[in-house]
Amino acid sequence: MIQKILKRLLIPFIAISFLSPLTVKAIGTPDVSARCAVLYDANSKVFLYEKNADERRGMASTTKIATALVVIESGRLDEVVTITEDMTGIEGSSLYLKVGERLSVKELLYGLMLRSANDASVALATYLYGSVDAFVEEMNALCLRIGLSDTHFENPHGLDGENHYTTARELALLSAYAEENAIFREVVSTKSIRIGEGENRRLLVNHNKMLSMYDGVCGIKTGFTKKCGRTLVTSIYRGTGHLICVTLNAPDDWSDHKKLLMYGESMLGLKQE
């Protein structure tokens, strides 16, 4: 009789022991290093996670998400740019463009997003709109058009500026808008590509390690300056979900994104295929 009673008590306990890790994963809020972070399901338009989501901060080279959008929406990807002196020698990450070299707008776009090339951003801005200032006006107009009121750009590359800022929430919304564009998705999901010709031919390898670190990640952009810290936007399509993860000033951003994506998949009941 006692054995039967013990058996009845133990079976539920054993079942709970096996199920508890899944339950904790589904309801536990991740502890992340980022100063600001969000996890956004672009399909349902719901934020699954927020941490200082509306705090204005610099975004470093995740700026180039907006830069890429303006370039793509220009409809001039097949045009060829002849590099001039004012397009070279830009501070930070670079393609090391040479005066007189010729690259298509689309090739420079790959340089912008994979190599995070600041000289590519200036070349594109100058060629497409005549000046960096005119191009930046278009970036800010884009933000207003899609309803972003806490985002403002001073340049197309993301080097620090007094009035160059966004929030984790708005960067997620901007990224969701960008991912509606097939060309944008193609570029940011590319792990490597060769551009240019002859002695100027280059192999570009995507700086975004999440493309290889987490199954199914298909973008979007890394960033870093000393003032902003590490910034990162990641995107993943899984089942009926489209998760976009944003971290600003995150010392351990790769780990943050893995935690948040796993959390999001659990919350939505999604499974890796």
- Return the active site residues: 61, 64, 116
Coil vs helix vs strand at 270? coil
Reported residue count of the chain is 273
C-alpha 195/C-alpha 190 separation (Å) is: 13
Nearest residue to 176 via CA among 234, 224, 215: 234
Q: Are strands 202-205 and 192-195 parallel, antiparallel or unpaired?
A: antiparallel
Rg of the chain on CA atoms, in Å: 22
**Cα Dmax for the chain:** 92
Whether 52 and 246 have beta carbons less than 8 Å apart is answered as: no
Q: Using CA atoms, how far apart are residues 203 and 227, in angstroms rounded to an integer?
A: 30
Nearest to 118 by CA among 83, 145, 155, 77: 155
**Which is nearest to 155 in space by CA: 67, 96, 226, 71?**
67
